[in-house]
Amino acid sequence: MRSIRATNGLGYRLICALSVYSSAQNRAFSSALVDAAGCRGLTVGGAQVSEKHTNFLINTGTATSADIEALGEEVRARVKAHSGVELEWEIQRVGKAA
């Protein structure tokens, strides 16, 4: 997973997975779908959908790869249920889930 360190505006640092989802239309469309499905700020363990950019999943400091995976799949399921659009993972995941 490609990652960066970024300041979230609250003064502490986060490790972020960038551009998590893609759709047939574009990334901005994906982000809008995630937001419309009510996923902004959604958390699983230490993983969270960014409050600022809903196409980012962030590690708040304690997330495991399983947390990121579970959150990503939950978001995909909620978007599919809300809009009928199936988002695809844009990042390449490697290894086995814990």
Which segment, 5-9, 33-37, 52-56, is predicted with the most confidence on average?
33-37
Whole-number percent of the chain with pLDDT over 70: 68
Higher pLDDT, 40 or 1: 40
Q: What is the pLDDT confidence band of residue 97, given thresholds at 50, 70 and 90?
A: low
Domains annotated for the chain, with CATH where assigned, are 3-89 (3.90.78.10)
pLDDT value for 60 = 86
Question: CB under 8 Å to 31, separation ≥6 — which residues?
Answer: 21, 53, 54, 55
pLDDT value for 10 = 45
Q: What is d(CA 80, CA 76) in angstroms, rounded to the nearest whole number?
A: 6
